Structure 1
Amino acid sequence: MTESPKPDFEGLRARHPEVFDRPLSARLATPTMMIAAFSVFVFGLIDLEFSPSRFFSGLHQLGWIALMMIPPDPGSSLPVYLVALGETLSIALLGTTLAAVFALPVSLLAARNIVPSSIFRFPVRRFLDSIRGVDTLIWALVWINVVGLGPFAGVLAIAVADFGAFGKLFSEAIEAADRKQVEGIRASGGNALHEIRFGLMPQVLPVIAGQVLYFIESNTRSATIIGIVGAGGIGLQLAEQIRVLEWQKVSFLILMILVAVAAIDWISSKLRFAIIGRRAVV
């Protein structure tokens, strides 16, 4: 058998000196970053007073609470809990829908292929960043002080928080759209509005619909959390039962939330596949 020719390392070194003779700073960059990350991790454990003994001693308390949750029992409050669950689902659905409706036109202004000038596009993007940078729970606390306790504050909190997220996601979907369809509309004599309506929207609407469906599922959990701070829904009931140590009712409420989220996930997945299938046929 003939031996395979040996690689010409000297020739490779001569042609690609940047690979073989990397500067010292480049060779030390990765280990320096790893050491820095590990140092920050250790500092965080010390600064936050992480204690393994406290953690393992707390497991005993956690086990006692888990035993107290069995069996789940709503008592005589099942009708109240069903109304509260419906309120939570309504908060998630209405808040997400409002956010999507208002974010779609703003996302057009944030898309590079719609507004080429960065002078006009930059403030829109930074505005969306500032809205998105505040968590839903913080918006809930703000709106509770503005409009008072109740589900209306929860709807506004989810709508405002998702407005920033949708603005970014929708604008990225618009920028990723195929330009050939837009150019075809322009070649046939269409104006800028025709390009958006018939060239861009048919491409991005299935993507947008899938994102909205996912956010409805996610916001069901968010609506539960903001309900704890007074925005209504099943989260308020959950906080009250934890406060009075009614652990069987707490476990029943958690099961209701899990079933609701699983059902919404199943429905939204079916809708997403239906939308994708219709898009493929078109």
Structure 2
Amino acid sequence: MTLALSANDRTALVARHKAAIDGSLKTRLITIAVIVGLTGLFLYGLTTLEVSIWKIIHGLNNLGIFVALMLPPDPGSLARAMLFVKALFETIAIAFLGTILAAIFAFPLGFIAAKNVVANRVVHFLARRSLDTVRGVDALIWALIWVNVVGLGPFAGMLAIMTSDLGAFGKLYSEAIESADRKPVEGVTSLGGSKLHEIRFGLIPQVLPVIASQVLYYIESNTRSSTIIGIVGAGGIGLYLAETIRTLEWQQVSFLILLILAAVTAIDFLSSKLRFAIIGQRAV
């Protein structure tokens, strides 16, 4: 049965928690500063980047010309089409292998970077900052680095995807581990389990579905990223995409774009089915 508060009790309650209800002056000032800062950054971007609606309107004519030149999609010959398809599968292989290797190598790093696993602040700080450093460099930059290290080709592309995703996976894994329920871990501890037992039976069963879902998403996302790193010589279909754009073979460009869209759509469909199967839900 719910009891209504009297007017005096309500007044006393509001007075007792007035700071929490109204918010402190510091919180208000921080909120105002953030809003002003973001507004200033937005206005600075508009002026610095020379944003112009008229340029977009005039550019629509050029966009229409490019679209007309791309139709109909045509690889040029059957041999050329087979070469493009082979390059597409090479791109998918780069994305798949790079993502899987990054997921494997990041797995122990995620536990090291998690506060509820490693209590040492120095180790936790170094692990987090190392992952942030690796994650802060874009895959395209890593591709340029690895091309100079191991040479041109898909191996450099795979290493670029793996390195770029290593930092991202480590951060995502550590956050998933830190947000895991402590009750299963405490249950393992109460039965005399060691620290390894806590991780194996208390944490891993909870975070494994989340980790698997993230890996599947990154495989689909990296299929698109692999087309970009191919432009700098890291293998895959991106190399042919850059070549056809440079030689103004617009019908071949549209054919390559359609191949990439078809591959991304198929991978997205399969990964979504697998994600729902892993988390125990039915895809809509």
State the match for 1:189 in structure 2: 192
Does residue 1:52 correspond to 2:58, yes or no? Answer: no
State the match for 1:43 in structure 2: 44
State the match for 1:67 in structure 2: 68
Q: Mean Cα displacement is larger for which, 140-149 or 49-58?
A: 49-58
TM-score in terms of structure 2 length: 0.87
Question: Once the two structures are aligned, what percentage of the paired residues are identical?
Answer: 61
State the match for 1:145 in structure 2: 148
What RMSD, in angstroms, separates the aligned Cα atoms of the two structures?
2.7
Closer, same or farther: CA 245–119 of 1 in aligned 2, 3 Å: same
Q: Aligned match of 1:275 in 269, 275, 278?
A: 278
Q: What is the deviation of 1:46?
A: 2.2
**2-structure distance, mates of 1:126, 1:254:** 37
**1-structure distance, mates of 2:20, 2:92:** 57
What secondary structure is seen at the aligned counterpart in 2 of 1:231?
Answer: coil
Q: How does 1:155-166 map to 2 (within 5 A)?
A: 155-166=158-169
**What 5-or-longer segments of structure 2 have no aligned partner?**
1-5
State the match for 2:91 in structure 1: 88
State the match for 1:235 in structure 2: 238
Q: Aligned match of 2:123 in 120, 123, 129?
A: 120
State the match for 1:177 in structure 2: 180
The code of the aligned residue for 2:131 comes to L
Does residue 1:203 correspond to 2:206, yes or no? Answer: yes
How many aligned positions are there?
A: 274
Q: Mean Cα displacement is larger for which, 28-37 or 195-204?
A: 28-37
Q: What is the deviation of 1:52?
A: 3.1
Closer, same or farther: CA 211–33 of 1 in aligned 2, 3 Å: closer
Closer, same or farther: CA 182–219 of 1 in aligned 2, 3 Å: same
Closer, same or farther: CA 70–7 of 1 in aligned 2, 3 Å: farther
- 1:171-202 Cα deviation digits (max 9, x unpaired): 11111222222222222222211221122112
- 1:55-93 Cα deviation digits (max 9, x unpaired): 222211111001111111112111000110000000000
State the match for 2:255 in structure 1: 252
Closer, same or farther: CA 81–8 of 1 in aligned 2, 3 Å: same
Does residue 1:217 correspond to 2:220, yes or no? Answer: yes
Closer, same or farther: CA 8–106 of 1 in aligned 2, 3 Å: closer
Q: Mean Cα displacement is larger for which, 94-103 or 23-32?
A: 23-32
Closer, same or farther: CA 22–112 of 1 in aligned 2, 3 Å: closer
Q: Mean Cα displacement is larger for which, 178-187 or 101-110?
A: 178-187
